[in-house]
Structure 1
Amino acid sequence: MFHNFKSHRKTSPSPPAPARLNKSCSECTRRKVKCDGGHPCSSCTYYKVSHLCNYRQRNKRNAVSRSTLEEVSDRLRSRTEILEQLFPNTPVDELIGKSRDELLDILRVELTPKGASVDLFSRPAEYAEAADDSAQVSENGEPVADRQWNESRNQAPIMQAADDINAINLATDKHRRSYLGVTSISAILRTIFRLCPSAKHRVAEQAKRWSENPIQPQPYHQSQLVLSMSGESATHLLKEQRCIDFYFEHIHPIVPMLDEEDFRNSYSLKHRRDAGWLGLLNMVITLGSIASGSDTLHEQYYEQARNYLDLDSFGSGNLESLQALCLLGGLYLHYRNAPNMAYAILGAAHRVAIALGLHRESRHRNTHATRTQEDKTSPKQSRAETKRRTWWSLFCLDTWASMTLGRPTCGRWDSRTMDTPFPTLLTENDYMAMSLCASLQFCLISNRIQNRFARLNRLTMTEITSFDEELQAWYASTPLIFRSMSNSSSRFTIAREFMRNRYLNIRLILLRSLILYFIHNRIHKDQLGAQELQIIDTCRLAAGEAIDSIALHWTPNRIHVWNSAWYLFQACMVPLLFIVIEQPRPDTNAESLASARASLVKALETFSEMKPWMRASDRASDIISAIYEAITGEVEVAGKTPYQDGDSSFFGWYDEQLAADLDWGSFLMDDDLQGAFLTVQ
């Protein structure tokens, strides 16, 4: 029944045989029956499954000859030798997965002579520490203890001015601080101290003077606290009202998350006694007292707020307690030089906001475009708008405070899980909403920049250029009123100046990181391309623009000066670094060097003018002056204002003026007089 296949001797050359097939078709193999090799075979024909009769082609085995193996081995060996010659100090396995730019960075480091002197973007051979703060060695090369910090109220007075973010205590190298990345002041000061050790010694000498004349905390008495909301004196009422007015005039434009009308009504009616409201009220008065110029009043109301913002407050979440946490961690604790405590408070506030559901909005609500003006001002919609602004204010506060830390964003914003809409303009001239919308768009970009900085691999030239172009495009797209110096309301002017300072600062952080990378890798100027040199020059020009802007537009108010002085301190780091790395070179661009010096002189003059409105703990101008003197050999050339050598408590006028206003006694005001005071704007 089945055919037998017999081989025949070949008598003449024949074309190559086709690929050998299996002797049995797939169906016969499955049935485990004998196959005759037909197409179809007789078995498949018999069982009426001819369409399933097919033969799998055998794979040809390629046996590698010894000569081929030796050839491949020699080729691999030669390539390995080339890589080892290019990267003698880096194992080949560590090169796997690195980008072209990262390999070039490693190559530049390997090619730099060990004995090379300090050149542009070069560093001493002993500079083995990374550009950020992740190394496990201290400034003097000794092993360090675990990271720790002390920002409690009971710390030594001299330490009250030496927080991590300012890196003021870096020159003394006393103990390990919290983690900070390449975007921090710590990173750039370490670089300056490496390239110019005399600058570190000079700052250390200044620090000794501070310790010899420590900051004396302003005393206050428990009896001065506002312990009762029902039996307040006229003095306390006037103090609180003035602080509330100062808050909404100088703080609210920065973070417009409160409903001013609702807040003032709740305060005047005195009908709320819950802990969330009382915590918020005391934080508003705390910040308002700083804006008013009082040196001690904020301590009193902060102590009051602490009674309502303790650990138990996290067990009863509500919008008012969340807003109080935002003001505490986003503003006030930074004013107290407690940035790590503030960082932790804002992290907790973010969790509270998510637990309250502020990161999501119900899809059945009307869209902004379809709402009428009456809908927008209704109590329900007003409450929804307050929640929306609170969420975005928290987002902005957290972003602003973290831009210079180099730490991960910890999921601050994720469009896949969060969909809170932007704030709505309640009126045509709702500048607070316009300002918040512009700020959050800026913070969305800054959030991505911060998240990128926190990654293990460094930013590339392409990324830095792309981010910088995106920032400039954002600023150019803002309404003209944000970029012009035309007359506008005082509240909007405050928000505009804060926004411009942050915009220029994030550009400086982004651009100067590239300079720090170059210095860390000991890259010579001759090794840089035109694009790298252009970014360096752009960074210097942006620093000059930031210094000029602050010198021209700063406002004589403690809140504004506190903010402007911090960004002025940041901007001064770039010309200082530029002078350190350019001054020793014979081919230095004299014009660029002169421009950097001029910017520093202008900054020192601005610090001098700001002195009466600065905190007693502010040391930024002293640090800039000490480093400038060390790297240039010149004494400070900035002039002094009439107040610089006087009493640092310049704002004694506040309490004196208040006493003058109340010379008619401390009687309790009647209802009509109370109403008159509570309507003061």
Structure 2
Amino acid sequence: MFHNFSSHRKTSPSPPAPARLNKSCSECTRRKVKCDGGHPCSSCTYYKVSHLCSYRQRNKRNAVSRSTLEEVSERLRSRTEILEQLFPDTALDELVGKNRDELLDILRNDSVPKLTAGGLVSRPAEDPEVADDSAQVSENGEPTADRQWDESSNQPPVLQAGDDINAINLATDHHRRSYLGVTSISAILRAVFRLCPSAKHRVADQAKRWPENPIQPRSAPFLTGDPNAQIQKEQRCIDFYFENVHPIVPMLDEDDFRTSYSLGQRRDPGWFGLLNMVITIGSIAAGSDTLHEQYYEQARNFVDLDSFGAGNLESLQALCLLGGLYLHYRNAPNMAYSVLGAAHRVAIALGLHRESRRRNTNSTCAQGDMTPTKVNRLETRRRTWWSLLCLDTWASMTLGRPTCGRWEPTTMDTLLPTSITEDDHMAMSLCASVRFCLICNRIQGRFAQFNRLTISEAVAFDNELQAWYASLPLVLRSPTNSPSRLTIAREFMRNRYLNIRLILMRSLILYLAHSRIQKAQLNTEELQIIDTCRVVASEAIDSIALYWTPNRVHVWNSAWYLFQACMVPLLSIVIESSQADPNSESLTSARASLVKALEIFSEMKPWMRASDRGPDIVAAIYEAITGDAEGAGRTPSQDGDSNFFGWYDEQLTFGTELDWGSFLMDDDFQGALFSTQ
């Protein structure tokens, strides 16, 4: 008898059962023959396809219970509803991959338009605390008129001297408004007044002391006198045009233009329109206060609606000078914007946006087969196209308006200007300006969108701008060994470069100011943006102080960009005065920059326009927010007999209801400005 002890022995756990395999290999299953289950099986060995013998492993089915499925579905549905409430106008797929800051920026954007059934754009109801400049009710509750403006030459001089684009009508002209945005001077001033309400009243009081009408009465026409004297004046203006203005927008063939003028054989309206516009702008460069009025009246006889019915290169060039330069000088920025838009259509109708395939594929060889006259004509067409693009871009840098297809690589292939001679600095300057404007074109397109510009986007644009400036030839960056003709063009280029960097950073500071975020709550990126903006503003002021020249065209440009740069230290003082030590380094630096700017304005006074009120505005706000009447006293308007008139129109009294608009900032803040370049 034997006793079985197996039940008391400890045995190791049996290995898991191998996954069940199909009885037949895949090849035998395909052939529908019997398989013995070998590896390889006998059938695959017989047919010499052993490498195809494999067995499919059966997967265990995971059955999900009905309750589990309903629970997961409900959880997904609730999360989807939450996301749709947070991002009502954004597809969920577009949120994938965005970081926290980008998602927060989308959350803040509550003004994206929606398409109704009728195809019209509608906006969600806005919080009154973030009302934008398009509001139709004034801060006093009084309804205002629709957007409109009247910049025609039929208006009295006091109205010609003021425009809403530059915010110089902010206190006096509540019914004439154009499209304004976060890049505008108006946005800065509204933010300043919102953060420091007492500054608004202080500026209004100061405005009462400013001269009422600095515009001098027009002198009697003198173009009907001695013909020889008239020819001498015209030749002088033409010389000043090609010396001071042509390097900025070198779209004319100087030799051909001078030859046509000296021969006097051309009688077509396009030529006369261009000739009178050249003399008009040249008279400004020559320092005349009234001569440009006379020649502008003559130019209007040829540059009119009929000029659009007879498109030619000369008429287009006249439109470029009119909308890109002269109307800004006359403080008619909206009219200038419209004229340049029409000029763009004319240029496309003339085919300047495209070149023949042969020229585009091998430009050097193609030009080698042409006569010098044809080469010059081709180059003039290119330079006219790119000059128009540059003028439109420069004039719209702070407008916040869509670019309207200004440059589309998919439909436009015009080559960049090429040097006709070895020392063709005009082509070099225009090529540099074009590359700059192509960057600005994308920046302007981004600002025109409804959602806010993010910090990462601003930094990327800024890095691209810095790389562009670093790549410029030394003659375009340094006055050393630079041709005299490039002086104004070079300084224009530097001013615009620093200004677009300011606009990028300044808009982000306005967003921070709108959010009422304390400095201690800012992250590293936001603090870096503020510091960079201050540094660039200081650099812009120092650069203008160092390189401005006593020339009316140069001063006109420099004074405008100096006015732009002053907005940053003004805003910095207002923001930090209540948060920081009044003797802090940043506030001290801001005050020093403003005092320096006011001194520069005073030195520029003899070459400034009578309607330039930027110095008065800066001085009044500086005194209002710092109480430094002595520093503000350096403004030109208080130095004897000045030709500036202020922000206030004596036809209105401060007892009337003036519409200062909403001083609250918003990411869809409508506005912008550029009346002077």
Q: Fold-level match, TM-score > 0.5?
A: yes
Q: Deviations over 1:504-532 (max 9, x none)?
A: 00000011111111122333323321111
Equivalent of 1:536 in 508, 525, 530? 530
Q: 1:147 touches 1:178 (CA, 8 Å); kept in 2? A: yes
Q: Deviations over 1:448-477 (max 9, x none)?
A: 100011011111111100000000000000
Q: CA deviation at 1:345?
A: 0.2
Q: Deviations over 1:182-210 (max 9, x none)?
A: 11111111111111122222333344445
Amino acid at match of 2:496: R
Between 258-267 and 521-530, report the one with greater CA deviation. Answer: 521-530
**1:93 equivalent in structure 2:** 88
**2:182 equivalent in structure 1:** 182
Q: 2:616 touches 2:637 (CA, 8 Å); kept in 1? A: no
Amino acid at match of 2:331: N
Q: CA deviation at 1:577?
A: 0.4
- 2:295 and 2:499 map into 1 onto residues whose CA distance is 32
1:631-650 aligned within 5 A = 631-637=625-631, 639=634, 644-646=639-641, 648=643
**1:521 equivalent in structure 2:** 515
Give TM-score, length-normalised by structure 1: 0.78
Q: Deviations over 1:279-330 (max 9, x none)?
A: 0000000001111111111010000000001101100000000000000000
Amino acid at match of 2:150: N
Please state whether the residue corresponding to 2:181 is helix, strand or coil.
Answer: coil
Between 584-593 and 624-633, report the one with greater CA deviation. Answer: 584-593
**1:671 equivalent in structure 2:** none
Q: CA deviation at 1:108?
A: 8.3
- In structure 2, the CA distance between the partners of 1:106 and 1:254, relative to structure 1 (3 Å rule), is closer
Aligned length: 572
- In structure 2, the CA distance between the partners of 1:422 and 1:331, relative to structure 1 (3 Å rule), is same
**2:222 equivalent in structure 1:** 224
| Higher RCO structure, 1 or 2 (CA under 8 Å, sep 6+) | 2
Q: 1:376 touches 1:382 (CA, 8 Å); kept in 2? A: no
1:73 to 2:67 alignment: no
Amino acid at match of 1:549: S
**1:48 equivalent in structure 2:** none
Please state whether the residue corresponding to 1:631 is helix, strand or coil.
Answer: helix
Give TM-score, length-normalised by structure 2: 0.78
Equivalent of 2:585 in 580, 591, 597? 591
Amino acid at match of 1:128: V
**2:312 equivalent in structure 1:** 318
Q: CA deviation at 1:561?
A: 0.7
- 1:62 and 1:218 map into 2 onto residues whose CA distance is 93
1:41-52 aligned within 5 A = none
- 1:259 and 1:232 map into 2 onto residues whose CA distance is 29
Q: 1:309 touches 1:325 (CA, 8 Å); kept in 2? A: yes
Amino acid at match of 1:164: D
1:145 to 2:145 alignment: yes
1:419-498 aligned within 5 A = 419-498=413-492
1:98-247 aligned within 5 A = 100-105=100-105, 127-130=129-132, 133-140=133-140, 142-172=142-172, 174-209=174-209, 213-221=212-220, 224-225=222-223, 233-247=227-241
- 2:295 and 2:539 map into 1 onto residues whose CA distance is 38
1:625 to 2:626 alignment: no
Q: 2:160 touches 2:331 (CA, 8 Å); kept in 1? A: yes
Q: 2:619 touches 2:635 (CA, 8 Å); kept in 1? A: no
Q: CA deviation at 1:535?
A: 1.1
Please state whether the residue corresponding to 1:146 is helix, strand or coil.
Answer: coil
Q: Deviations over 1:356-401 (max 9, x none)?
A: 01111112238454478x8787111011111111111001000000
Q: CA deviation at 1:639?
A: 4.2
Please state whether the residue corresponding to 2:171 is helix, strand or coil.
Answer: helix
Q: 2:215 touches 2:611 (CA, 8 Å); kept in 1? A: no
- In structure 2, the CA distance between the partners of 1:170 and 1:376, relative to structure 1 (3 Å rule), is farther
Q: 2:250 touches 2:430 (CA, 8 Å); kept in 1? A: yes
**1:392 equivalent in structure 2:** 386
- 1:610 and 1:217 map into 2 onto residues whose CA distance is 19
Please state whether the residue corresponding to 2:180 is helix, strand or coil.
Answer: coil
Q: 1:611 touches 1:643 (CA, 8 Å); kept in 2? A: no
- 1:532 and 1:305 map into 2 onto residues whose CA distance is 50
- In structure 2, the CA distance between the partners of 1:204 and 1:537, relative to structure 1 (3 Å rule), is same
Equivalent of 1:330 in 324, 332, 337? 324
1:650-665 aligned within 5 A = none
- In structure 2, the CA distance between the partners of 1:108 and 1:414, relative to structure 1 (3 Å rule), is closer
Q: CA deviation at 1:557?
A: 1.1
Q: CA deviation at 1:224?
A: 3.0
Amino acid at match of 2:405: G
**1:501 equivalent in structure 2:** 495
Q: CA deviation at 1:69?
A: 2.3
Structure 1: which 5+ residue stretches go unaligned? 1-14, 19-37, 41-59, 85-89, 111-124, 650-681
Please state whether the residue corresponding to 1:168 is helix, strand or coil.
Answer: coil
- 1:640 and 1:407 map into 2 onto residues whose CA distance is 33
- In structure 2, the CA distance between the partners of 1:547 and 1:243, relative to structure 1 (3 Å rule), is same
- In structure 2, the CA distance between the partners of 1:92 and 1:377, relative to structure 1 (3 Å rule), is closer
Q: CA deviation at 1:146?
A: 1.6
- 1:166 and 1:641 map into 2 onto residues whose CA distance is 19
**1:29 equivalent in structure 2:** none
Q: CA deviation at 1:258?
A: 0.6
Amino acid at match of 2:318: A
- 2:219 and 2:65 map into 1 onto residues whose CA distance is 89
Please state whether the residue corresponding to 1:317 is helix, strand or coil.
Answer: coil
Q: 1:180 touches 1:186 (CA, 8 Å); kept in 2? A: yes
Q: Deviations over 1:561-599 (max 9, x none)?
A: 111000000000000000000111145781111111100
**1:560 equivalent in structure 2:** 554
Amino acid at match of 2:377: R
Amino acid at match of 1:182: V
Please state whether the residue corresponding to 1:163 is helix, strand or coil.
Answer: coil
Q: 2:615 touches 2:636 (CA, 8 Å); kept in 1? A: no
**2:43 equivalent in structure 1:** none
**1:254 equivalent in structure 2:** 248
Q: 2:191 touches 2:510 (CA, 8 Å); kept in 1? A: yes
- 2:63 and 2:142 map into 1 onto residues whose CA distance is 60
Q: 2:214 touches 2:643 (CA, 8 Å); kept in 1? A: no
Q: 2:324 touches 2:395 (CA, 8 Å); kept in 1? A: yes
Q: CA deviation at 1:339?
A: 0.1
Q: 1:609 touches 1:640 (CA, 8 Å); kept in 2? A: no
- In structure 2, the CA distance between the partners of 1:376 and 1:337, relative to structure 1 (3 Å rule), is farther
Q: 2:610 touches 2:643 (CA, 8 Å); kept in 1? A: yes
Q: CA-atom RMSD, angstroms?
A: 3.2
- 2:509 and 2:399 map into 1 onto residues whose CA distance is 18
1:305 to 2:299 alignment: yes
**1:50 equivalent in structure 2:** none
Q: CA deviation at 1:643?
A: 11
- 1:199 and 1:395 map into 2 onto residues whose CA distance is 39
Please state whether the residue corresponding to 1:147 is helix, strand or coil.
Answer: coil
- 2:623 and 2:582 map into 1 onto residues whose CA distance is 20
Q: 2:86 touches 2:107 (CA, 8 Å); kept in 1? A: no
Q: 2:576 touches 2:587 (CA, 8 Å); kept in 1? A: yes
Please state whether the residue corresponding to 2:404 is helix, strand or coil.
Answer: coil
- 2:177 and 2:321 map into 1 onto residues whose CA distance is 25
Structure 2: which 5+ residue stretches go unaligned? 1-18, 23-29, 33-60, 111-126, 645-677
**1:52 equivalent in structure 2:** none
- 2:208 and 2:623 map into 1 onto residues whose CA distance is 17
**2:660 equivalent in structure 1:** none
- 2:432 and 2:464 map into 1 onto residues whose CA distance is 14
